[in-house]
A = this chain, B = another copy of it.
Amino acid sequence: MSRPRLLLLSSSVVHGHGFLEYAASDINTFLNKNRVSTVLFVPYAAVDHDAYLAKVRPVFTKWGYQVEGIHQDNPVDAVKRAEAIFVGGGNTFLLLKTLYDKNLVKLIRERVFEDGVPYIGSSAGTNIAAPSIHNTNDMPIVYPPSFNALNLIPFNINPHYLDTDPNSTHKGETREERILQYHSLPDAYDVYNVLGLREGSLLLVDGEMGVLKGIKNARLFIKGKPPQEIEVGTDLSHLFANQLKASAVRL
């Protein structure tokens, strides 16, 4: 048993910044600290895996890391030997379904929990680090065998969190309404707390220690309480207390 080391980004792109640029120093610190030289990239949230790898590889190469694409080899073997895993954004349903189809859900979780393999997620890759994908914004274009996900942390994440636009004339639900409706479900449903990560915010996890990083605040939805603003630098370890072990039992 090791401890999970995670870096969970709201998105890969933030207005005014290049691909992964706003998170460059956090990613580099995270990988260096864990003595990583090769990153296993998981492009399953997109349809075209080669094109996605071609976009991601130069960024990590520039930083001095090698990048392997999980789709270029037997994916189970690739995860078994991975030094670090980066799961990119795209469609969360397609990503999770593909991980189930290829028998990777339990394996990735084991590598993170038992071997301490550092995990970086962005957007969909961050969604699946949670107990479930119930709080993704994505369109359900494919049907996964479950909404249960990697369960690396004991709460759900809503990436690309968006504040309500007071000038909008659109009548679809706001993001806050959607999350509060999730929390209003009858008790028969398994419901988790939700961390809304605005584009530009990211969560660094080391065991049961969590801290908000990046350039934007987050919004935290604890079931039964009013939503709270979370500033960059805030210690979120209380969200992990007494919960990691219970949830670790589930898989």
Task: For the complex formed, measure the closest distance between the CB of A161 and the CB atoms of chain B, giving whole angstroms.
Answer: 10
A171 within 8 A of B: yes
* Known contacts A169-B15, A170-B162; is-contact A136 B139 (Cβ 8 Å): yes
A217 CB–B CB distance under 8 Å = no
Interface 1/0s, chain A 110-148, versus B by CB < 8 A? 000000000000000000000001111111111100110
Q: Which residue of the partner chain, among B134, B146, B181, B199, contacts A171 with CB atoms under 8 Å?
A: B199
Known A134-B141, A138-B178: A172·B160 in contact at CB below 8 Å: yes
Which residues of B are found within 8 Å of A147, using beta-carbon distances?
Answer: 140, 143
What separation, in Å, do the CA atoms of A12 and B162 have in the docked complex? 23
- Name the contact of A134 in the complex, choosing from B140, B160, B184, B199 (C-beta under 8 A): B140
The count of residues in chain A whose C-beta lies closer than 8 Å to any C-beta of chain B is 39
Q: Are A185 and B142 in contact (CB under 8 A)?
A: yes
Given contacts A47-B181, A47-B184, A171-B160, contact A139 B135 (CB under 8 A): yes
- Tell me which residues across on chain B come within 8 A of A199, comparing CB atoms: 170-172
Closest to A135 in B: B139
Q: Is the Cβ of B162 less than 8 Å from the Cβ of A172?
A: yes
Report the copy number of this chain in the oligomer.
2
Checking B90, B136, B170 against A160 with a beta-carbon cut-off of 8 angstroms, the contacting residue is B170
List chain B residues, Cβ under 8 A from A15. Answer: 169-171
**Contact indicator B47/A142 (Cβ below 8 Å):** no
Q: Is the CB of B141 within 8 A of A143?
A: no
Query: Does A14 touch B at the CB level, under 8 Å?
Result: yes
Report A148 CB to chain B, min CB distance, Å: 9
Question: 10 A-B Cβ contacts within 8 A?
Answer: A13-B171, A47-B181, A47-B186, A90-B181, A91-B181, A134-B139, A137-B172, A142-B185, A160-B172, A171-B199
